[in-house]
Amino acid sequence: MDQRRPDAAPTARLGALATLPVFFRLTGKPVLLAGGGDGAAWKAELLAATGAQVRVFAAEPGEKMRTAADEIANVEIIPRGWAASDMQGCALAIGDVESDDEAQRFRDAAHGAGVPVNVVDRPAFCDFQFGSIVERSPVVIGISTDGAAPVFGQEIRARIETILPQGLREWAKAAKAWRPSVMARHLDFRARRRFWERFTRRAMEQADVAPSEGDLTELLASIDTDATSAPTRGSVVLVGAGPGDPDLLTVKAVRALQSADVVLYDDLVSPRTVNAARREATRIAVGKRGYKPSCTQEDITALIVSLALEGKRVVRLKGGDPMIFGRAGEEIAGVLAAGIPLEIVPGVTAAAGAAASLGLSLTERETARRVQFITAHARNGRLPDDLAWAALTDPRATTVVYMGVKTLPLLVDRLLAEGLDPQTPAIVVERATWPDERRITGTILELPEKVAEAHPAGPCLVLIGAALGGIRLPLDRPRS
Ligand code: SAH
């Protein structure tokens, strides 16, 4: 018979699993821990946190272990080495041992007593491994890379830490505490499910507000009234997607995307950013090239409102910051007029993204006392003629022009005519913060010609002002 351990094997519904994540209740159960070093002390603390009776076998326990035993009631040091007979009746055996030889004996002894075993740092001798933990107990998340790279596991853990609010713990406790009251209602399956869906939604949306009895009453009442009234309304979140790099999404933006039913996004939003949405969320491109051949602002607003009125959680993902040249005003008015709850999550505007990647401060104490964001694109597509020319020719200003490439030659002519110094430094940044970001630099006088030669096709910002005199970061530094 072939004695080799078969590899993890995919099934019709699951990819191959290197290990099975299981969550083991240890309260009151004895666990054997062999070894008294610092690593073992940490394991003792971890196991004790689950309520296990931790029996530490160590002839010479280190200081950390002695402290752990002093401070934690359910950690006990037995001041001698482990013996096979100590394994009897233990739920788990963990050995921080000296050699492969001892590891082998430890494992055999544990198996002889029918106890699952872990030998620290010797995966070949382990039945189970310890993962990295994200703790919002009773919500506990374990992360395993099957020993591939602990640092990788720690980074994954750090990411999960940032997106899960601390307050989830209180909501999970409330779920446990409220379960009997919900059961006592004898709701049918669908109503019960609706209750827990609404509970979950509230928990995710206001995780950092502690749940109260008032929440329970309200949620139960909302289920009672459902029988007679129309389905609940959805909600809308306007979310700033940042200038391109998906890592520039805010934590709040990721949370909104993670609880979305539908995501409507512009051309300017990168596919990786859209992919931060919940897997089940419907994604609709509503940019100039998406949804319909001519997707007008009115169409988009109407679509947002109708989806929310169907009860959907709608995320409207807008490039940069939603409140800067994003026609957010029209969407906000439409949503509020329909009586739909609205939230707005700010984002990194293109100017901030460009400044960061250029390594240039938009303000400088002497040379740039004012920053102004303008658009050089009027409704009719031409250069607006009512721009504040005195402000734009202020030698101590930094001007950032959105949607300004088409009309750049006209803008520059006019600025020079209004008295701007032709030697003023200026930069065009195309696709700021994207992997293929490009910069065109020069004086304001030279810039239109240089831009015409470079044929930028992506979104561009024009930055003008004395503060832009030097690019501090290398042009082709590696990017993630
Ligand atoms: N709300 C967005 C701006 C939308 S207007 C924000 O806050 O950034 C669209 C214009 O923004 C584009 O024409 C371009 O001028 C600018 N823009 C958006 N993303 C950009 C990027 N990654 N690089 C350069 N300019 C960008």
| Pairwise CA distance, residues 480 & 478, whole Å | 7
Pocket test for ligand 1, best of 268, 270, 332, 399 (most atoms within 8 A of CB): 268
Over 60: is that where the pLDDT of 477 sits? no
Q: What is the pLDDT of residue 299?
A: 92
Q: How many CB atoms lie within 10 A of CB 167?
A: 16
In angstroms, what is the span from residue 402 Cα to ligand 1's centroid?
A: 6
273-277 average pLDDT score: 92
Q: What is the pLDDT of residue 287?
A: 81
Over 80: is that where the pLDDT of 422 sits? yes
104-122 average pLDDT score: 96
* Candidate from 176-190, 309-323, 432-446 with smallest mean pLDDT: 176-190
CA–CA distances in Å: residue 229 to residues 79, 156, 224, 232, 371: 69, 44, 9, 9, 52
Q: Which atom of ligand 1 is nearest to the CA of 351?
A: 8
pLDDT band at 157 (very low <50, low <70, confident <90, very high): very high
- Please state the φ and ψ torsions of residue 281, each to the nearest 5 degrees: -70, 140
Q: What is the pLDDT of residue 3?
A: 47
Which residue has the CA at smallest separation from atom 13 of ligand 1? 403
β-bridge pairing 438-443 and 397-402: unpaired
On average, the pLDDT of the chain sits at 91
Q: What does the pLDDT look like over 35-77, one tens digit per residue?
A: 999 999 999 999 999 999 999 999 999 999 999 999 999 999 9
Q: What does the pLDDT look like over 197-237, one tens digit per residue?
A: 899 988 987 888 899 999 999 999 988 776 655 556 689 99
Q: What is the pLDDT of residue 480?
A: 42
The count of C-alpha atoms lying within 13 angstroms of the C-alpha of 322, restricted to the half-sphere facing its C-beta, is 23
Pocket test for ligand 1, best of 321, 436, 461 (most atoms within 8 A of CB): 461
**How far, rounded to the nearest angstrom, does the alpha carbon of residue 336 sit from its chain's CA centroid?**
28
Q: What is the pLDDT of residue 267?
A: 87
| Pairwise CA distance, residues 64 & 463, whole Å | 57
Q: Of 45, 42, 37, which Cα lies nearest the Cα of 63?
A: 37
Over 80: is that where the pLDDT of 12 sits? no
| Pairwise CA distance, residues 211 & 301, whole Å | 34
Over 60: is that where the pLDDT of 32 sits? yes
Over 70: is that where the pLDDT of 383 sits? yes
Q: What is the pLDDT of residue 232?
A: 61
| Pairwise CA distance, residues 243 & 41, whole Å | 47
Q: Which atom of ligand 1 is nearest to the CA of 433?
A: 22
**Residues noted as catalytic:** 266, 288
| Pairwise CA distance, residues 213 & 137, whole Å | 20
Q: What is the pLDDT of residue 75?
A: 97
Pocket test for ligand 1, best of 269, 331, 402, 428 (most atoms within 8 A of CB): 402
Which residue has the CA at smallest separation from atom 25 of ligand 1? 460
The count of C-alpha atoms lying within 13 angstroms of the C-alpha of 237, restricted to the half-sphere facing its C-beta, is 23
- Name the DSSP letter for residue 468: G
In angstroms, what is the span from residue 354 Cα to ligand 1's centroid?
A: 10
| Contacts (Cβ under 8 Å, ≥6 apart) of 36 | 56, 58, 59, 60, 61, 62, 65, 77
- Tokens found for residue 131: 């993962």
In angstroms, what is the span from residue 326 Cα to ligand 1's centroid?
A: 9
| Pairwise CA distance, residues 250 & 266, whole Å | 18
Q: What is the pLDDT of residue 476?
A: 47
Q: How many CB atoms lie within 10 A of CB 415?
A: 22
CA–CA distances in Å: residue 29 to residues 51, 92, 136: 8, 9, 22
- Tokens found for residue 432: 């700021």
Q: Which residues line ligand 1 (CB under 6 A)?
A: 243-244, 268, 318-321, 324-326, 349-350, 353, 402-403, 429, 431-434, 459-461
Cβ-contact 465, 425 below 8 angstroms: yes
Coil, helix or strand for 269? coil
pLDDT band at 286 (very low <50, low <70, confident <90, very high): very high
338-360 average pLDDT score: 96
Q: What is the pLDDT of residue 448?
A: 97
Amino acid at 281: A
148-168 average pLDDT score: 88
